[in-house]
């Protein structure tokens, strides 16, 4: 019990920090919110972009066999009929006969009793999670389409376009980052389960005989990414998903589960989608999607390995890893231990006092130089220096640079053109020559 309280407290502290410091706000907050939606503030956008850029670099740009895609969210509804989503993208739903609250049956330990009011739960039924919408000025059967529930679909329908325009050799993959929408029965746990989410997905096309080899290679890549974003690998656990529990398109799935403060839950999925999607789209569209191998003269439908990573869940895991409380200078301190690849701000530059024009001018000069060389640099002259350190610690800035009177060399000429460089994690400060700063920070 005590442990549960502790972990809930951690979650609450993370949510409060996210709001206080401009990472994540409740969606439509001034109207009382909208369940399952969250808005990313200035710091959250920066963190999210750093996660996405790192994924794009590792999964697309650094590889010769990967190509980017940015497909439309709205697609011809026949694509979702062919892919099986209209018929089968559903979760089991139960409703309480007393309080009328709805729950996802597969997440309940007791499927007969309402976890909120102890009333009796009704019959289980399948609830399709796709958001329906109408396209064009007239509403009716013919105008219905869906907001995509996964980014994957846009890659399967563009597979032939890429083959015909880029002529990649098998094996090759498509990578996409984008929004997906799921009308989750019970959105919960902050940004963990939302109705409007963002995914970073790869559809990797292989010869059917080689799927196991490529499954293993992508499995390793996923672990490499987990490490690169600063998640302790001992907090992530692979789960082989059993026969009855896999998505309708998958012959093998490994879930990567993370020890979130509210329990061990899915972070990412790795699926072997066979030729299910290309075959279904070939039948649905009546367009031949076979790959022709010029060397072997073989014609076949490639099979697909899909590493699927949620942006929000990555961010939540990264925040859970980074959130740290300690004591510094006899006071309690909260800070985010982001690694340098992800920190929204890499260095913050301060003039010791904001009412001394000579200090401000020098600090502005150092700021401009660092900003130009390192990009993620901010300028802060608000409040006393202790408060500024505290603020930067809370948003996870690894380094702070302070320009003081010694920088100007007024009293101690030997310190001229040096600044103090403070380390977030240890709080230690050292004097560094301005001309050495970039090399030192890199
Ligand atoms: P869950 O079992 O938690 O509902 P899932 O198995 O349906 O997840 P997938 O369809 O495999 O999830 O989606 C791939 C990835 O997209 C997930 O591993 C997760 O990172 C992310 N994701 C899926 N649904 C959501 C959601 N509702 N909110 C946030 N992220 C999500």
Tell me, yes or no, whether 95 lies in a domain: no
Q: Is ligand 1 within 6 A of the CB of residue 310? A: yes
CA dihedral (136, 91, 159, 281) in degrees, to 10, reads: -80
Predicted confidence at residue 213, as pLDDT, reads: 98
How much distance in Å is there from the Cα of 90 to the middle of ligand 1? Answer: 13
Q: Is 182 in the pocket of ligand 1 (CB under 6 A)?
A: yes
The answer to whether residues 351 and 304 belong to one domain is no
pLDDT at site 6: 58
Q: According to the model, what pLDDT value does residue 7 have?
A: 65
**Looking at residue 432, what is its pLDDT?**
96
From 147, 193, 237, 307, mutation site for ligand 1 pocket: most ligand atoms within 8 A of C-beta: 193
Q: Residue 53 Cα, ligand 1 centroid: separation in angstroms?
A: 20
Longest CA–CA separation in the chain, Å: 82
Q: Quote the DSSP letter at residue 141.
A: G
Q: Which of 33, 53, 1 is nearest to 344 (CA)?
A: 53
Cβ–Cβ under 8 Å, residues 376 and 392: no
Residue with CA nearest ligand 1 atom 14? 308
SS3 117: coil
313 lines ligand 1 (CB under 6 A): yes
Q: Is residue 58 part of a domain?
A: yes
Instruction: Look at ligand 1, atom 24, and give the residue with the nearest C-alpha.
Output: 193
- Rounded to the nearest whole angstrom, what is the distance from the C-alpha of residue 308 to the centroid of ligand 1? 8
Residue 302's beta-bridge partner residues? none
170 and 54 in a common domain: yes
Instruction: Kindly state whether residue 272 falls inside one of the protein's structural domains.
Output: yes
Ligand 1 site, residue 148, Cβ cutoff 6 A: no
Choose the final residue of a domain: 319, 337, 360.
Answer: 319
Cα distances (Å, whole numbers) of residue 422 to 236, 339, 344, 365, 401: 32, 16, 17, 19, 6
CA nearest ligand 1 atom 4, residue: 193
Beginning with the edge strand found earlier in the chain, give each strand of the sheet holding 102-104 in spatial order: 102-104, 90-95, 125-128
Determine the atom of ligand 1 nearest the C-alpha atom of 256: 18
Helix (H/G/I), strand (E/B), else coil: 380: coil
Q: Is residue 338 part of a domain?
A: no
The alpha carbon of 392 and the centre of ligand 1 are apart by a number of angstroms equal to 32
- Ligand 1 atom with the smallest distance to the CA of 255 is 18
* Tally of structural domains, the chain: 2
Same domain, yes or no, for 314 and 412? no
Q: CA–CA distance from 345 to each of 42, 89, 120, 303, 420 (Å)?
A: 11, 40, 51, 41, 17
The DSSP bridge pattern shows strands 399-403 and 347-351 to be parallel
Closest CA to 345 of 316, 365, 374: 374
CATH number at residue 171: 3.30.930.10
Query: Residue 362 belongs to a domain with what CATH number?
Result: 3.40.50.800
194 touches 37 (CB < 8 A): yes
> What is the position in ligand 1's atom list of the atom closest to the CA of 308?
14
Q: Which of 199, 218, 255 to mutate to test the pocket of ligand 1 (most atoms within 8 A of CB)?
A: 199
* 442 residues of the chain, pLDDT tens digit each: 334 455 689 999 999 999 999 999 999 999 999 999 999 999 999 999 999 999 999 999 999 999 999 999 999 999 999 999 999 888 889 999 999 898 989 888 888 899 999 999 999 988 899 999 998 887 777 789 999 999 999 999 999 999 999 999 999 999 999 999 999 999 999 999 999 999 999 999 999 999 999 999 999 999 999 999 999 999 999 999 999 888 888 999 999 999 999 999 999 999 999 999 999 999 999 999 999 999 999 999 999 999 999 999 999 999 999 999 999 888 899 999 999 999 999 999 999 999 999 999 999 999 999 999 999 999 999 989 999 999 999 999 999 999 999 999 888 889 999 999 999 999 999 999 999 999 999 8
Ligand 1 pocket residue status of 344, Cβ below 6 Å: no
State pTM to two decimals.
0.94
In a domain, 331, yes or no: no
Burial class (CB in 10 A: 0-12, 13-18, 19+), 268: buried
Q: 303, 319, 335: which is the final residue of a domain?
A: 319
Tell how far CA 217 is from the center of its chain: 21
- Judge if 357 and 307 occupy the same domain: no
Asked, for residue 130, whether it belongs to a domain, the answer is: no
What pLDDT sits at residue 142? 77
357 lies in the same domain as 240: no
Residue 229 and residue 159 share a domain: yes
Question: Which tokens go with 34?
Answer: 């909208």
Instruction: Tell me if 269 CB under 6 Å of ligand 1.
Output: yes
Residue 158 within any structural domain of the chain: yes
pLDDT of residue 244: 86
Query: Among the atoms of ligand 1, which is closest to the Cα of residue 192?
Result: 29
85 lines ligand 1 (CB under 6 A): no
Is 247 within the bounds of a domain?
A: yes
Contacts of 150 (CB under 8 A, 6+ apart): 180, 199, 201, 308
Atom of ligand 1 nearest to the CA of 199: 16
Quick one: DSSP state of residue 347? E
Instruction: Please report, for residues 124, 174, 319, 395, 397, the alpha-carbon distance to residue 401 in angstroms, rounded to integers and kept in the order given.
Output: 59, 42, 24, 16, 11
Mutate to test the pocket of ligand 1, among 313, 314, 318 (most ligand atoms within 8 A of CB): 313
Q: Are both 173 and 71 inside the same structural domain? A: yes
**Residue of 186, 180, 178, 139 lying closest to 36 (CA atoms):** 186
Does residue 363 sit in the same domain as residue 414? yes
In the reported structure, the alpha carbon of residue 331 is separated from the centroid of ligand 1 by a whole-number distance in angstroms of 40
Closest ligand 1 atom to 253 CA:
11
Q: What φ, ψ does residue 396 adopt, rounded to 5°?
A: 80, 25
Question: Nearest C-alpha to atom 17 of ligand 1 is from which residue?
Answer: 268
For the record, the structure tokens of 271 come out as 């699926």
- What is the domain extent for residue 412? 345-441
Tokens 């699926």 -> residue = 271
Closest-lying ligand 1 atom to the alpha carbon of residue 313: 20
**Are residues 288 and 397 located together in one domain of the fold?**
no
């Amino acid at each position: 019990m005590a442990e549960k309280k502790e972990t809930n407290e951690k979650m609450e502290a993370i949510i409060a920090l996210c709001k206080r410091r401009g990472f994540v706000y409740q969606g439509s907050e001034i109207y009382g919110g909208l369940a399952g939606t969250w808005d990313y503030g200035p710091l959250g956008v920066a963190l999210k972009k750093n996660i996405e850029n790192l994924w794009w670099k590792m999964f697309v740009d650094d590889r010769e066999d990967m190509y980017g895609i940015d497909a439309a969210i709205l697609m011809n509804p026949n694509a979702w009929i062919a892919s099986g989503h209209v018929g089968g993208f559903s979760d089991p739903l139960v409703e309480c006969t007393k309080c009328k609250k709805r729950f996802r049956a597969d997440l309940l330990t007791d499927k007969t009793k309402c976890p909120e009011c102890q009333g009796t739960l009704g019959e289980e039924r399948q609830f399709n999670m796709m958001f329906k919408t109408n396209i064009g000025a007239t509403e009716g059967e013919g105008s219905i389409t869906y907001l995509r529930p996964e980014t994957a679909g846009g890659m399967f329908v563009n597979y032939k376009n890429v083959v015909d325009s880029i002529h990649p050799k098998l094996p090759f993959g498509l990578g996409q980052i984008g929004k997906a929408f799921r009308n989750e029965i019970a959105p919960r746990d902050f940004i963990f389960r939302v109705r409007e989410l963002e995914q970073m997905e790869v559809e990797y096309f292989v010869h059917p005989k080689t799927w196991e080899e490529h499954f293993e290679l992508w499995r390793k890549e996923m672990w490499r990414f987990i490490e690169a974003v600063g998640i302790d690998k001992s907090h992530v656990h692979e789960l082989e998903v059993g026969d009855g529990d896999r998505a309708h398109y998958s012959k093998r799935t490994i879930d990567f589960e993370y020890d979130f403060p509210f329990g061990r839950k899915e972070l990412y999925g790795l699926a072997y989608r066979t030729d299910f999607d290309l075959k279904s789209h070939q039948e649905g569209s009546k367009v031949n999607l076979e790959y022709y191998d010029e060397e072997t003269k073989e014609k076949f439908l490639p099979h697909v390995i899909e590493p699927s990573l949620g942006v929000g869940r990555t961010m939540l895991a990264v925040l859970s890893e980074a959130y740290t409380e300690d004591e510094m200078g006899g006071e309690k301190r909260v800070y985010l231990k982001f690694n340098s690849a992800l920190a929204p701000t890499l260095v913050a530059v301060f003039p010791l006092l904001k009412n001394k024009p000579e200090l401000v001018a020098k600090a502005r000069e150092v700021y401009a130089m660092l900003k130009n060389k390192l990009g993620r640099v901010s300028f802060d002259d608000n409040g006393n220096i202790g408060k500024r350190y505290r603020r930067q610690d809370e948003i996870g800035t690894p380094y702070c640079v302070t320009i003081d009177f010694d920088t100007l060399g007024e009293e101690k000429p030997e310190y001229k053109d040096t600044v103090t460089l403070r380390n977030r994690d240890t709080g230690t400060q050292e004097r560094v020559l301005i001309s050495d700063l970039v090399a030192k920070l890199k």
